[in-house]
Amino acid sequence: MTETVRTWRHIPQRYNLTGSKCLQCGNVFFPSRIICPECRRKGKLEDLKFSGRGKIHSYSVINTPTDEFKDIAPYVVAIVELEEGAKITSQIVDCDPDSIEIGDEVEMVFRKVREEGEDGVISYGFKFKPKT
């Protein structure tokens, strides 16, 4: 799949932080699912727009990145547990990597994710920053 197609297909999740919630068991998911893994066909899913607030569940500081990300190293990648309960992986920005701790409160920000070549598509999406 080309980057352009992937970008357009994932706009609801990437730009709005939209997932799904099972009305049967109450579990929340990101990205959206069409079937609840707990309830299977008995479950009924609805779209859920997440608040964009959460806490760092786990993290890692990347000191030796791939060539694509070498200009921003060192940087933090974390599993963020959102207020609604879903866990997502994201980069943590606007911080000193040495100051990040598990349990820190974070909030979603909208940033450039990557650029495909000098004249290519620029992809934007969510990242998180420490809550001030």
* Number of domains the chain contains: 1
pTM of the model: 0.82
* 115 confidence band (pLDDT: 50, 70, 90): confident
DSSP helix/strand/coil, 12: helix
Per the structure, the complete domain to which residue 95 belongs is given by: 3-130
Q: What is the pLDDT of residue 88?
A: 95
Give the DSSP letter of residue 121: P
Task: With residue 76 as reference, give the H or E element that holds it.
Answer: strand 75-82
Please write the tens of the pLDDT for every residue from 89-99: 999 999 999 99
